[in-house]
Structure 1
Amino acid sequence: MEITLMISEKTFARGYSSFWTQNTPWLTDYVSFLNKGSIERMFKPMVSLDETKYRSINNSAAFIDFKQKRIGEELELSKIIEITSDNLKHLPRNGLETYILDEVNNSTIKEQSKRLISTYSGKKLIFEPQFGGCGIIANCQGDLLYENVLCEIKAGERNIQSSDIKQLLVYCALNWLSDEKIEIEKIEIFNPRQGIYWNSTLINLMENISTLPMEDFFEEIGHFLYITSEEFEL
């Protein structure tokens, strides 16, 4: 029996450096340029009083709270934490065993949710758009889609990273390779904790990070994923 080892889109975005170096040779310099002052500051950075080990919980809870309020099914934060815990329980070192919804965590969740609501007010949102797998990458989902813009929410206490943009490019490639394409012309990243926002058309981004046209780059991703899946077959 043949078994193909599968990876997530995040694993591909954070690893496989030889592929990314060959096909996006200017990405590192581009991200450095962005972080030196070319990113929009929509809010002041939050004073992060929540403990580091609880930030993934608070960040996830804030997104769920934002989603529930936007779809008109607002929930108590205690229920939001229950849903968050169920989503994160499979992750190592998730901090769930000692987490308490105290005043600090409560206010952190509410402020991030408030910023998300403000930023995406008036936009017709599709939450968690689905993308079919390809080769070694399993089926996956993004964060937000509106009009022709694919958005990723990153709430770490950090600037934009190359892997953030790679992750969005993987979603776009999977979409491009799909038989049922969604129209995606732009990608964006919003960090409610840091208050930073970045948006670019795919065409302009590719001109800044690669010698390949957008369509050729997406085809290269598909080819690489299929070739690698064949190498991984057991």
Structure 2
Amino acid sequence: MISERTFVSLHRDFWRAVMPRSEHMTRLLNASRTTLLPAYDGRSNSDNRGLINEAATRLTQSALIQHCSISTLPADRKELVFSEAMQFIERFRTGQDYHIDSLDKDEIDECNEIAERLLEMFRLIEVAPEMFVRVPGAGIIDACDVDAATTDTVFEIKAGNRNCRSEDIRQALVYAALLELSGQINQVRVVEVLNPRLGWRVSSNIDSLLEMSGGRDWASFRVEFENYIVETRHSHQVIDQIIKPGGGMR
């Protein structure tokens, strides 16, 4: 099985079939995005940006659970969040000996600021979503965590210095489909991408988004998605039965 991120980036034949106008869609979404907060001018080293963003999102989750601000989170809880974020990032780095240096004071301050900004964005759009929603795998896709979700909306959190990308939308669509397939959400109606670093929000009805990118509606997309991930897994299983563990044919 593969991660949802690998599916988004490598299974291009599927995405070309269901979203042939994805770049056009992304341009339209970026043109219509809403600015909720002024951009934050952080000074973190780009090598640690991924860890900072991951830790900030996890701090936001803790604050939502405990109904408090980032500044009032207990110190031991913050330490646990930073440890979990570091372990998560290291899983995606190549090389068994790879290790990320601990964040310095300025980088920790930036984590706290990004987290506070994400909390404020949720407040401004009047939602208190569940974050890091665990969904089981399906077909070739392994179990994964959705950044945030409500009863009808999937949120993808990005905190880089960039616009929304088609890959962000694809990842949100994968999460939406998995949430429905698992029965955790009856029907996803809205996809949102939030960037707490730059302060922007992209929001779209899911049918409108798919219409812009390829002329499909959500029901047909979900059917094609489910068929593809199940059939691809079946094909892999057949190949595994034919090929010996040593690489030869049976």
If the length of structure 1 is used for normalisation, what is the TM-score? 0.88
* Structure 2 Cα separation of the partners of residues 179 and 58 of structure 1: 32
**Kept after mapping to 2: 8 A contact 1:65/1:75:** no
Alignment of 1:24-173 (within 5 A): 24-35=19-30, 37-72=31-66, 74-76=73-75, 77-92=78-93, 96-102=99-105, 104-121=106-123, 122-173=126-177
- Structure number with greater Rg is 2
* Structure 2 Cα separation of the partners of residues 70 and 181 of structure 1: 20
* Structure 2 Cα separation of the partners of residues 215 and 170 of structure 1: 13
Deviations 1:187-206 (A, max 9, x none): 10001112111111112112
* Structure 1: 4+ residue segments shifted above 4 A: 93-96
Letter in 1 for 2:114: Q
* Structure 2 Cα separation of the partners of residues 149 and 179 of structure 1: 14
Q: Which runs of 5+ in 1 are unaligned?
A: 1-5
* Structure 1 Cα separation of the partners of residues 103 and 24 of structure 2: 41
Residue 215 of structure 1, CA deviation: 0.6
Residue matched to 1:23 = 18
| Higher RCO (CA < 8 A, seq sep 6+) | 1
Letter in 2 for 1:116: L
Residue 220 of structure 1, CA deviation: 0.4
Residue 113 of structure 1, CA deviation: 0.8
Letter in 2 for 1:75: P
- Percent identity, please: 24
Matched residue SS, 1:157: coil
Letter in 2 for 1:134: A
Residue 67 of structure 1, CA deviation: 1.3
**Kept after mapping to 2: 8 A contact 1:145/1:151:** yes
Tell me if 1:223 matches 2:231: no
* Structure 2 Cα separation of the partners of residues 91 and 178 of structure 1: 26
* Structure 2 Cα separation of the partners of residues 71 and 93 of structure 1: 33
* Structure 2 Cα separation of the partners of residues 93 and 52 of structure 1: 17
Q: 1:114 to 1:96 in 2, by over 3 A?
A: farther
Matched residue SS, 2:91: coil
